[in-house]
Structure 1
Amino acid sequence: MSVLYNILVAVHLLGMAAIVGGYLSVLKAPRVSEVMVWGARIQLLSGLVIVGLGEAVESLGKDYDHAKIGVKLVISLVVVAVAEIGRARQKRGEGNPNFAHIVGILAVVNALIAVLWTNY
């Protein structure tokens, strides 16, 4: 089960790379790209599965900080919602560069929370 868990963590990191990399690639002309939308979807779904497996499978030995997971979940939901809305509006010709900035910055904030919020 640990192999599956580690694969999911790698997928989760690839989702973050898609959001942040997609944001950096459109920084001169900000827009929400399809890569950013799919990265946000992957982040949310893989994060949910990672926490679900960690909580359900005793042999993984995971003990999550539920406050941290809750904050990250809320931010991830906002990232997905803003990415979806921004991409849909852009397809209709109503694009707003602020959507891209919100998605990119919140993805970085979520990564920083993952790394810096520790249980000391």
Structure 2
Amino acid sequence: MDIVYRLLVVLHLIGWAIVLGGTLVNLRTPKIAAGVLHGVLTALVTGILLVGIASAGLAGHEPNTTKVAVKLLVALAVTALVLVGTRRPEKVTTGYLGAIAGLTVTNVAIAVLWR
């Protein structure tokens, strides 16, 4: 199960990388790239699976529930912004994309810096 856990971590990081990269690439012409929605959903689903596997004691270490809750809220905010931007492209501005990128970086920083 440890291999599955590690592969999920890789997929989780790739998902966030897609969100950040796809957002930064489109800052000049504000729009949500097609892959950003897939990236955020990948990050969200793999994050939930990672917490489930770790909480069950199958792999990893016991997760910090407060940290997980904060990361989930940020991930849900990013997901909501991406969904709205995908369905209503006229709402997407440079600031809108900046919010998605900023929240994505915040989520990664929480993962790395919060012990």
Normalising by structure 1, report the TM-score: 0.89
What is the count of residue pairs matched by the alignment? 114
**2: CA distance between counterparts of 1:61 and 1:80?**
26
For the pair shown, which has the larger CA radius of gyration, 1 or 2? 1
Q: Is 1:11 the equivalent of 2:7? A: no
The change in CA–CA distance for 1:70 and 1:28 in structure 2 (over 3 A counts) is same
Q: Which residue of 2 aligns with 1:88?
A: 87
**Which structure 1 segments of 5+ residues have no match?**
none
Q: Which amino acid aligns with 1:109?
A: T
Q: Which residue of 1 aligns with 2:55?
A: 55
**Which structure 2 segments of 5+ residues have no match?**
none
**1: CA distance between counterparts of 2:72 and 2:58?**
24
The change in CA–CA distance for 1:61 and 1:42 in structure 2 (over 3 A counts) is closer
RMSD between aligned residues: 1.2
**1: CA distance between counterparts of 2:79 and 2:50?**
18
**2: CA distance between counterparts of 1:10 and 1:96?**
29
How far residue 64 of structure 1 moved from its aligned partner, in angstroms, is 1.1
How far residue 61 of structure 1 moved from its aligned partner, in angstroms, is 4.6
Q: Is 1:106 the equivalent of 2:103? A: yes
Q: Contact 2:19 / 2:36 at 8 angstroms: preserved in 1?
A: yes
How far residue 7 of structure 1 moved from its aligned partner, in angstroms, is 0.6
Show the 5 A alignment for 1:21-100: 21-56=21-56, 58-90=57-89, 94-97=90-93, 98-100=95-97
Q: Contact 1:32 / 1:99 at 8 angstroms: preserved in 2?
A: no
Determine helix, strand or coil for the equivalent of 2:100.
helix
Runs of 4+ in structure 1 deviating by more than 6 angstroms, as ranges, are none
**1: CA distance between counterparts of 2:7 and 2:30?**
31
% same residue: 33
